[in-house]
Structure 1
Amino acid sequence: MSDRQEKTQLHRYLQRGREAMLWKAEGLSEYDVRRPLTPTGTNLLGLVKHLAGVEAGYFGEVFGRPFPEPLPWMAEDAEPNADLWAAPEESREEIVGLYRRVWAHADATIEELPLDAEGRVSWWSAAQNPVTLQRILVHVLAETHRHAGHADIVRELVDGAAGMLPGRENLPDGLDWAGYRERVEQAARTAGGLS
């Protein structure tokens, strides 16, 4: 596989993760898109905001191509986890729009640099630097899909919507989910000596 083909493939998988993230937030009320559904506060809009900051840093600063808009929640003096939730004055449209602008900025970096282009991740140790565009693509791809998995679970908890993308849910057709869940629960109880 040529470098160009590899870059195209990595970029395609990154884009699928991006699209999945936004789909998970579609069609929900302002409350539900922001609602923390885990003890650590995981919420859909916060995940989108976080990934905007991730891509702005890794495809911007790392390669000397800083994203042109300020991201105060990414500053060193920002409140811990400020990038993982949306304040009431931060609209969904602003955050989703920001994520899309960051994509465009990141896509330009990906398109213009070769896979072996070197950069420096200032928040990583000296031993982990320098990095290549290929390494950063893999890193951000993994992070995006990790958070897309979080979004899968959060969205299912909000309203039961499940799957990868509209029309490509990757779920078995016609499965009795309640019966399936009960069967899994019973297997767990049996294995755990609870029944």
Structure 2
Amino acid sequence: MIDEFAKDNLHGRLRRDRKVLLWKLDGLSEYDARRPLTATGTNLLGLVKHVAGIEARYFGEVFDRPSPEPLPRWQDHDGSDLWATEEETRDQIIESYRRTWEHSDATINELPLDAPGHVPWWPEPHHNTNLFAVMVHVLGETNRHAGHADILREDVDGRTGMRPEHETQIDGEARDAYYAKIEQAARSAASVKAQKAVPRDSMFERHDGGRAG
């Protein structure tokens, strides 16, 4: 019973976070979906492409159930699994991700949690694993990148959240006031710490009672 509960719980959370990640592309222009939004080039469509590759490999070849999807090069020196080329359309990447869900779901549904798997890119002695560990790992990766996407999307147009039905109209004045409150608290804390800090030079002062050297 506990195995089925654990599997259903993990699987449900994975399905939720997949949708969250895809929703972060909703309503964006082609440029905003693809453009780098951090100094390291992180971008929204690239995150979807990357997570699709993660799922395809972990729920595919790890359990000797290769994905039918053509997979991008993974963790290559040029980071090609983390951004979309001019030839790759948004629809292609999204539909590939959705088809990957189907393959992953079949693996999850057909195998028990203790089904053995082999991850050749994990270091020794962790190559050999099982479905439970892989589900936890993929859920963690998906959740982490969905969080990245949430922050990136906020930077583009201010939209945040996990589900469209929970989204509220952006109140610019309220956000500005909240930002200012946190900024002021940070500056005040930094000022207090600076006042309490002992100058490094004082650690080496000589206390010789005022006698001449």
Normalising TM by the smaller chain, what interval?
Answer: over 0.9
Alpha-carbon distance, 1:71 to partner = 1.3
The number of equivalent residue pairs is 191
* Cα separation, partners in 2 of 1:30 and 1:174, compared to 1, 3 Å: closer
1:28-177 alignment, distance < 5 Å: 28-74=28-74, 78-169=76-167, 176-177=174-175
User: What letter is aligned with 1:153?
Assistant: I
User: Per the alignment, in what secondary structure is the counterpart of residue 164 of structure 2?
Assistant: coil
CA distance in 2, matches of 1:119, 1:111: 15
| Residue 2 of structure 1, CA deviation | 2.0
Q: Using the TM superposition, give the Cα deviation of residue 175 of structure 1 relative to its aligned residue in structure 2, in angstroms.
A: 8.6
Give 3-state SS (helix, strand or coil) of 1:86's partner. coil
Distance 2:142 2:168 in 1: 18
Q: 1:169 to 1:141 in 2, by over 3 A?
A: farther
The aligned residue for residue 23 of structure 1 is: 23
Instruction: State the Cα RMSD in Å.
Output: 2.1
Q: State whether residues 37 and 154 of structure 1, in contact with CA within 8 Å, keep that contact through their aligned partners in structure 2.
A: yes
- Where does the alignment leave 5 or more consecutive residues of structure 2 unmatched? 193-213
- Aligned-residue sequence identity (percent) comes to 58
Aligned equivalents of 1:147 and 1:159: distance in 2?
18
Segments of structure 1 that go 5 or more residues without pairing to the other structure are none
Question: Are 2:118 and 2:127, in contact at CA under 8 Å, matched by a contact in 1?
Answer: yes
Shift of residue 190 of structure 1?
1.1
Deviations 1:28-87 (A, max 9, x none): 00000011111111110000000000000100010000001221323x8x5531011000
Separation in structure 2 between the aligned mates of residue 111 and residue 166 of structure 1, nearest angstrom:
28
CA contact (8 A) 2:24 2:44 kept: yes
Determine whether 1:2 maps to 2:2. yes
Q: Structure 1 residues 136, 34: CA separation in 2 closer, same or farther (over 3 Å shift)?
A: same
Contact 2:22–2:48 (CA under 8 A) maintained in structure 1: yes
**How far does residue 170 in structure 1 lie from its aligned partner after superposition?**
9.4
Distance 1:2 1:170, change over 3 A: farther
Q: Is the 8 A contact 2:69 2:100 kept in 1?
A: no
> Which stretches of structure 1, 4 residues or longer, exceed 6 Å deviation after superposition?
none
3-state secondary structure, aligned to 1:131: strand
**TM-score, normalization by structure 1:** 0.92
Mapped to 2, the partners of 1:88 and 1:62 lie a distance apart of: 31
Q: Specify the SS of the correspondent of 1:127.
A: coil
TM-score with structure 2 setting the length: 0.85
Q: What SS does the aligned partner of 1:183 have?
A: helix
Q: What is the deviation of 1:176? A: 1.4
Partner Cα distance (1:174, 1:131) in 2: 48
Q: Secondary structure at the match of 1:119?
A: strand
CA distance in 1, matches of 2:77, 2:88: 16
Q: Structure 2: how far apart are the matches of 1:181 and 1:89?
A: 40
